[in-house]
Homo-oligomer: A and B are copies of this chain.
Amino acid sequence: MTTYYSEFQKVLLSVDCIIFGFDNNKLKILIGKRNMDPGRGEWSLYGGFVRSDESLDEAAHRTLRELTGLRNVFMRQVGAFGNLDRDPGERVVSVAYYALINVKDYSERQRKQHDVEWVNIEDIPQMYSDHNNMVVKARKLMKQKIKTDPVGFQLLPELFTLTQLQRLYEAVNGEALDKRNFRKRIKDMDFIEKTDLIDKKTSKRGASLYRFNKKAFTEDKTFKL
């Protein structure tokens, strides 16, 4: 292969994943203690290096898959992080991605095996390098996205109650929402379908279970929560 730009220096490229989950009415991300130098033992996002035979998006999906076994996960790029001092070893530029997964799809067995934990978004510890910055930016982008696109369902089980959905939005927005106003808006969206199933886990009376119908959400629809 011809080397066209041989006079320029190359750098290592990595991807880092901000993996969002929703559990116990809290927005969380999956992080672990770093098990390699430099920075061994520090809290860290899960990441990996970009291979020469894959795009950035592919590298992000592969990295997530290695950790969780999940495919076809909703992921979006957060941005490239390339400060000179971001890695104490040699220079590494990292491209951050956020992912939205349903915590139930990630087994405790796998979680323990990889030694990662679900940490409340409000209680993120000091992390390795610029990982806290990545989380801040990811959270900002995700918050924006979830307001105007029906992606929040990625964080919920297939069937969910309206209270669960509301709690999710409250956790993401960081503030309480009015129950009646919230449900009014949901009712206007015919792609959020009421099933005839009842969830009795959280109340004696039971709450109707709803489902997001992807196919019913066509171009002409709008989403705003």
- On A, residues with C-beta under 8 Å from B are 1-5, 8-13, 37-38, 49-57, 77, 79-84, 89-93, 95
Contact between A10 and B11 (Cβ–Cβ < 8 Å)? yes
Cβ distance A128 to chain B, nearest Cβ, rounded Å: 13
Cβ distance A187 to chain B, nearest Cβ, rounded Å: 28
Contact between A38 and B4 (Cβ–Cβ < 8 Å)? yes
Contact between A89 and B5 (Cβ–Cβ < 8 Å)? yes
Contact of A54 among B13, B79, B84 (CB under 8 A): B84
Contact of A5 among B52, B77, B80, B92 (CB under 8 A): B92
Known contacts A11-B10, A84-B54; is A49 also within 8 Å of B5 by CB? yes
Chain B hits for A90, CB < 8 A: 1-5
Cβ distance A137 to chain B, nearest Cβ, rounded Å: 10
Count of chain copies = 2
Alpha-carbon gap, A172 to B53, bound state (A): 38
Contact between B82 and A56 (Cβ–Cβ < 8 Å)? yes
A sample of 21 inter-chain contacts (CB < 8 A) reads: A4-B90, A5-B49, A5-B90, A9-B51, A10-B12, A11-B11, A11-B13, A11-B50, A13-B13, A13-B82, A13-B93, A52-B91, A55-B84, A56-B81, A56-B82, A56-B83, A56-B93, A57-B83, A77-B79, A79-B80, A80-B95
Alpha-carbon gap, A113 to B20, bound state (A): 49
In the complex, the chain B residue whose C-beta lies closest to that of A7 is B49
In the complex, the chain B residue whose C-beta lies closest to that of A10 is B10
Alpha-carbon gap, A11 to B3, bound state (A): 12
Contact of A12 among B2, B8, B54, B95 (CB under 8 A): B8
Contact between A95 and B82 (Cβ–Cβ < 8 Å)? yes
The 8 closest A-B pairs by CB, nearest first: A56-B82, A4-B89, A10-B10, A80-B80, A8-B49, A9-B52, A55-B83, A80-B95
